[in-house]
Structure formats: C-alpha cells, structure tokens
Chain A
Amino acid sequence: TQLLEQSPQFLSIQEGENLTVYCNSSSVFSSLQWYRQEPGEGPVLLVTVVTGGEVKKLKRLTFQFGDARKDSSLHITAAQTGDTGLYLCAGRMGSTLGRLYFGRGTQLTVWP
C-alpha cells in the first residue's frame, strides 16, 4: 500500500521554467519532509513542514503543507540544471520514532 502518491513521476523541463511536484495522501501526517537524492548518493533533507497550511521558502524552492496535513507541494521557480535530481516526499505519523513513509519520488531533469 502506497501511503504517499507523488506526481508527476518524471519531469523534464528547460532551464528557466517553473514546476510543481505534488505529494498526496488520504492519511494525516504529523510532519512531512522533502528530500533530494542525486545519483550514487543518499537522500538529503530539504525541508520539514509540521503545521497545516505552512509555507516554507528555500531560495527558489517553495514548500507547502496542506491545511489538513494530508498533502504537500514543492514549487521551483526558474529551474536550473543544478536542480536535477530525484525529489522524495516523506511523511511521519505520530512520534519521531514512528515510521517515515516515502513517496515513489519525482525524477526531475532540467536541460540547459
């Protein structure tokens, strides 16, 4: 059973374009994280959101947690080739000892 559905699975865009990646669930999460993974490496945390409706910005990246804490989105403005990578959302239920459920990821490729 896939708790977190990410879309799209693949995204291929030109440098300078904007894009949005979605992470949806029918379950409520106490927190939701976004990770980025590059080839041959482990995922690296980008952001954690914990409050329904929360919006966090990290330079050109904007993360939003849904009001009901069931979904999240990642928006990238003016994508750069360095943004290329696998973006993973991960949700946690309950305490920090609880399972962190990962979505299947969005493979983003930004072309020059």
Chain B
Amino acid sequence: DTAVSQTPKYLVTQMGNDKSIKCEQNLGHDTMYWYKQDSKKFLKIMFSYNNKELIINETVPNRFSPKSPDKAHLNLHINSLELGDSAVYFCASSQAQIAVGELFFGEGSRLTVL
C-alpha cells in the first residue's frame, strides 16, 4: 500500500485552465503539506494543514486553493493556470506529536502548462 498517494502523476494543460491534484495518506498522520519543486529542484512549502486546519500559507497566489475534507486528504485546486505554474507538486504528511517530524512524500505530480 502506498503511504502517500497523489493523482494524477502527470498533468499537461493549457494556460488559463483550472486543474486539481488529489492527495491521500494512509499513515494516520494529522498534518499534510503541499510543496512545489521547480526546474532547479528547489522544494518550497506552499501550504500545511493540521487536523484539517490551515496552519501554513506561504506567499502563494490565491489562484491556488487547498482543501482538506478530512485528515487523510489534502487536495490542491489551481485556477487560471500560468506558464510559471509548471513544476512538480509534492504532497507530504507527518505526525505533529512526534518530535523528529519526518515528512513522508508522495511521488509528485508533474504539471506542465503550455
């Protein structure tokens, strides 16, 4: 069983479209994240949810809207896609009460905006 699973793995779309990426974790963790990895491999946090509540919201355009229907799911919806949104988006989860705070990542969703 995959611990953190994201769908779709690949997404190719036109500028201006709206798209969603879904994420599910079966680790029983209470905290989930969205990270963006650019073409130079820099991994930057976008959002973090703890028990369905938004706790980290980096400087991300409001075209990006995360939604956490329950602790095991964190989806990312992107409106009016732009060329600069092309990247690999990683979902991750962790257990806040564990001091070491290891992040478990999904395999990533590669978004290409044409």
User: Which residues in A have some Cβ–Cβ distance to B below 8 Å?
Assistant: 31, 33, 35, 37, 40-45, 48, 50, 86, 88, 90, 92, 95-97, 99-102, 104-105, 107
Query: Which of B45, B55, B99, B106 is in CB contact (< 8 Å) with A100?
Result: B45
Q: When the two chains form their complex, are residues B108 and A42 in contact, meaning their CB atoms are under 8 A apart?
A: yes
Which residues from A are CB-within-8-Å of B43?
Answer: 43, 88, 102, 105
Which residues from A are CB-within-8-Å of B102?
Answer: 33, 45, 48
Q: When the two chains form their complex, are residues A48 and B100 in contact, meaning their CB atoms are under 8 A apart?
A: yes
Q: When the two chains form their complex, are residues B105 and A43 in contact, meaning their CB atoms are under 8 A apart?
A: yes
User: Which residues in B have some Cβ–Cβ distance to A below 8 Å?
Assistant: 4, 31, 40-45, 48, 50, 55-56, 90, 92, 94, 96-103, 105-108
Name the 6 nearest CB pairs between A and B, nearest first. Answer: A42-B105, A96-B101, A102-B43, A48-B100, A45-B102, A105-B41
Nearest opposing residue in chain A for B58, CB measure: A99
Query: Residue among B41, B97, B99, B107 with the most chain A CB within 10 A?
Result: B41
Q: When the two chains form their complex, are residues A96 and B42 in contact, meaning their CB atoms are under 8 A apart?
A: no
Which residues from A are CB-within-8-Å of B50?
Answer: 97
Question: Given A97-B31, A97-B50, A100-B45, are A40 and B108 also a contact pair (CB < 8 Å)?
Answer: yes
Query: Which of B42, B45, B98, B108 is in CB contact (< 8 Å) with A104?
Result: B42
The CA-CA distance from A95 to B94 in the complex, in Å, is 13
B114: shortest Cβ distance to chain A, in Å?
Answer: 21
The CA-CA distance from A12 to B101 in the complex, in Å, is 31
The CA-CA distance from A86 to B4 in the complex, in Å, is 20
Nearest opposing residue in chain B for A88, CB measure: B43
A94: shortest Cβ distance to chain B, in Å?
Answer: 11
Query: Which of A31, A37, A86, A105 is in CB contact (< 8 Å) with B101?
Result: A31
The CA-CA distance from A102 to B36 in the complex, in Å, is 11
Which residues from A are CB-within-8-Å of B56?
Answer: 99
Query: Which of A31, A40, A43, A104 is in CB contact (< 8 Å) with B100?
Result: A31
The CA-CA distance from A87 to B9 in the complex, in Å, is 22
